[in-house]
Structure 1
C-alpha cells in the first residue's frame, strides 16, 4: 500500500527483508526513513562506511538480522498460542453440542473456560459460531425474547365458570357449538410445540377467528384480547377460515338431496302456496377498501347514491332453504355487477342451463331474470289482481332469503365494515362466515334483538327481464292458481 504523504518510498515487506541483506537494505534506504532511524539506534556499527572485522571476544550490539528474526519468532509464537487457545476453547463447546442433555457441559462452565483460556476479545467470543451452536444445543439455557401480553380476558372466557350468555354475546354461539367446531377443526388447526415456544392451543386459535368475524374490531383489539401479536392474529384468522372452508363447508353447506328437497318444497308451499320451490336467492354487498387495481369494477354506484359517500363492495350471492340455511353461495364478484350478471357467473347458472334444475323453482327478486328455473315477480306497471297476488307470494318467499342475509351480517359484523383483509383473501373469509351461519342456524343459535338491522335492497331490473317464454306462461298459470284457489292474500288491495 502506498502512502502519498511520504516523499520517500515505503519500506519493503517482510518477505523482502528476509531476501535482502541488512547492509544492502540500509545502504539503499533514505536518511529520512523511519525504519532506518529505528535500526540506527540499535546498530551504530553497521552504519560506518569503513567496515571492520569484529573480535570474537569483544561484546557487540545485536545485529539487524538477529532483531528481525527475534521479531518474527515472537510473532509466530504469539500466533501459535492463539491457535492453541482457540482449539482448546472450541473443543468443549463442540463436545457439549453433540452430547446428550444428561452429559452436556453447562453454559456457565463453557463460558468460564472461554473467558479464562481464550485470548480472543469478548465480543468475538460471544459472536463466534461455536458459542452460538452451544447455546442452540443447550435448550435449557436458550432464552428467546417475547413481549409479555395479557391473556386474562381469554382465560376468563375459556374457564368453565364463564356465563353462557356472556360467551354467546362475545362469540355469537353457545359453548357447545364452539366445542363442536373446535373438535371438527382440531386435526387441521393443531400445531406442534417447538424448542423456542409452545404452540397456540386449538381453542384459542378458533376463538381468535370467530371473535374477529363476530365483532369486526381491528386486529389491534384482537391482539389485546387474546395476548397475541397483531400479525399472529391476522395469520390465525386466515388459517382458521381456510380450515372452515376445507373441512366444514362440505358438511354444512351443500345442495340438498332428494329427501331434504322434498321437505324444503313442502315448507315453502306452506309459506307461499307456490309448489316446487327449492330455494330463495338473494345478493348482498360487503363494503371493502378501494382496491389498488380495477377500482371502477368494485365501485358501488347504488351504495354511493344512498350513503352520499364513495363506496366499494364485493358481492355475496346465496340460495337458502325454508329455514334460512345456505344451500349454494357465490362470492367474490365486483360490486359494480348487477344481480343478473353475478348469477350468470355462478355455478348455479351452469347447473340450471344443463337442465339439473328444470323441475324446481328458485325464487328471486326483480333484479333477476325470469328463466325456466328462476321465478321473479312482475315488474311492469298497472298490474292486475292476479299479478299482484303473485308478487305478494313471491315476496314472502324472497323475505326468507333477505332475513337470512340480515342474520348473516348481524351475526358476523365484519361484513358490515370495510374489512382489513386483502381482496384475494376475502372470498375465503366470506365463505367461512356463510358456513358458520349455517352451523348456528342448524343448532338453533338465535341472534340478539339488538343486533338486528335493516337490510337495503339495491336491485336493478335487468335489461332483458324475460329469458324464456315457457317460464312466462308458467308464471301466469301460477298467478291464476293462487288467486282463484283462494291461496293469495288481500294485502295488495
Structure 2
C-alpha cells in the first residue's frame, strides 16, 4: 500500500515536471519568434530610411537648372509619390493621360471595387490603400509598360504590381459585369435601334458583332493554334456593340486561329438571338411585317434571319459570274457604314487601354479576364462622359499589331432561305429610301 502511494506521488511529480518543461520550451519559442520579427522590422525600417537619405542626397546634388526643367513627379523615385504628388498635384489632364479616366470616375471605380480589394494591415507592413492598388493596375492597363517601371514609380514590389493587376481585373468582372456588361432590356434595345437609324441610316438593328485580336507572348503549349490570319500570336474575342458604341456582350479567351463563325455559334449570343431574346414579346413592324431586331456582322459570320452581312462582291466566277444589283450594292454600302460603330468602339477601346493594342506579356490565364475588365472600363468611361483624346488613336494606328481581316464564310446558314428573305426586305427599304 505504501509503495503504491509512493509510486503515485512519483508519477504525479514526473508529469508535472514534463508539463512545466514543455511550457517553458513553448514560451522560449514564442519569445524567439517575437525577437526575430522585431529585428526584421527594425532592419526594414533602417533600410528604408537609408534609401530615403540616399535619394535626398542624389536630388540635392542635381544641377539647379535640371531641377527646374523637370516636373517633380517625373524624376523623384520616392515611395510616397502617390500621396505626395498624384493626390495633391495631379491636374485633370494628368488623370486623363495617366489613368485614361477622370478623377471622379477613378474614385467611383475605387468605391465599387472596395469590397474585393480592401486588405488588412499586418504586423510586418501596412496594406496598400484601395486607391493606390487601382492606380497601379490602371497604369498598367493604360500604358502596357513593364512591371518594374511601375514598381519603381509607385514604390512597391514587382510582385505587388502583378497582384494588383490580377486582383483588380477579377474584381471588375465579378462586381461590375451585371451593371455594365449585360444583355439589354426592351427599352435599351429600342433606344439602340433608334441610334442605328439616326446615326447610320440602318433601321431595325440593335448591335454590331465584331472581332478583336490581342497580341500575346508565345504560349508553352499549342502555340500554332494562336497564330491568326496575319501570322502573329493572339487571343481572339467576340464583341457586340450597341448604337452608343458600348459593349454589351464579350466572349474572350479563344486562340487567334479560331474561326469567328465557330465562336459565334458556340456563344450565348447565338442562343439568345436564335431564341428571340433580342426582341420584345410583341415583334416590331418593319416594312409592314412583324420582324425581330437584327444584328450586323462581317462576311466571316453566317447569314441568319437575325444576323445580316453584306452580299459577296462576286456571286460566282467565270461564266457563272453575276454582278450585284443596284439595291444589293446599296445594301452593302449601308451595312458597311453601320459597321463603323463596332470599328470605332474597338479603336477607342484599344486606344484607351493599350494593353490590348500592344503585345501583352501576361499569362494566358489572365489575358481573357483583362480583356473583359477593359471592356467594362470602356463602358464606364463612355457612360460617365470622360474625354477621349485623338492622339491616343494615333498611337494605336502605329502599333505593332494591326488587326487582321478574316476570310468570307463560304458555307450556307441553316435558315438560308428565310435569311435571304429578310435581307431582301432591307434591300427594298434602302431602295425606297434612295428613290
Mapping 1:398-477, distance limit 5 Å: 398-452=339-393, 453-454=396-397, 456=403, 458-468=405-415, 469-477=417-425
Q: CA separation of 1:475/1:164 partners in 2, compared to 1, >3 Å: closer, same or farther?
A: same
Q: 2:225 aligns with which of 297, 300, 305?
A: 297
What is the aligned partner in structure 2 of residue 135 from structure 1?
Answer: 35
Distance 1:225 1:449, change over 3 A: same
The gaps in structure 1 that reach 5 residues or longer are 1-86, 95-127, 305-310, 488-493
The answer to whether the 8 Å contact 2:226/2:234 transfers is yes
Alpha-carbon separation, structure 1, partners of 2:345 and 2:188? 19
Q: Is the Cα–Cα contact under 8 Å of residues 182 and 248 in structure 2 kept in the other structure? A: yes
Aligned to 1:145: 44
Tell me the matched-pair count. 360
Query: Secondary structure of 1:160's partner?
Result: helix
Within 5 Å, which residues of 2 pair with 1:139-218? 143=42, 145=44, 148=48, 150-218=78-146
Superposed counterparts of 1:224-303, under 5 Å: 224-300=152-228, 302-303=229-230
TM norm structure 2: 0.77
Q: CA deviation at 1:459?
A: 2.2
Counterpart among 294, 297, 309 of residue 364 in structure 1: 297
Larger Rg: 1
Shift of 1:219: 0.6
Normalising by structure 1, report the TM-score.
0.68
Partner of 1:485: 433
Cα 1:140–1:367, aligned 2, differ >3 Å: closer, same or farther? same
Matches within 5 A, 1:76-95: 94=27
1:139 is displaced (CA, Å) by: 6.3
Higher relative contact order (CA 8 A, sep 6+): 2
Tell me how large the CA RMSD over aligned residues is. Answer: 2.5
Asked if the contact 1:319–1:326 (Cα under 8 Å) also holds between the matched residues in 2, the reply is yes
How far apart in 2 are the matches of 1:273 and 1:210? 37
Displacement after TM superposition at 1:383 (Å): 1.7
SS at structure 1 position matched to 2:207: strand
Distance 1:155 1:236 in 2: 18
* Cα distance in 1, alignment partners of residues 390 and 44 from structure 2: 46
Q: Is the 8 A contact 1:362 1:373 kept in 2?
A: yes
Does the 8 Å CA contact 2:169/2:370 hold for their aligned counterparts? Answer: yes
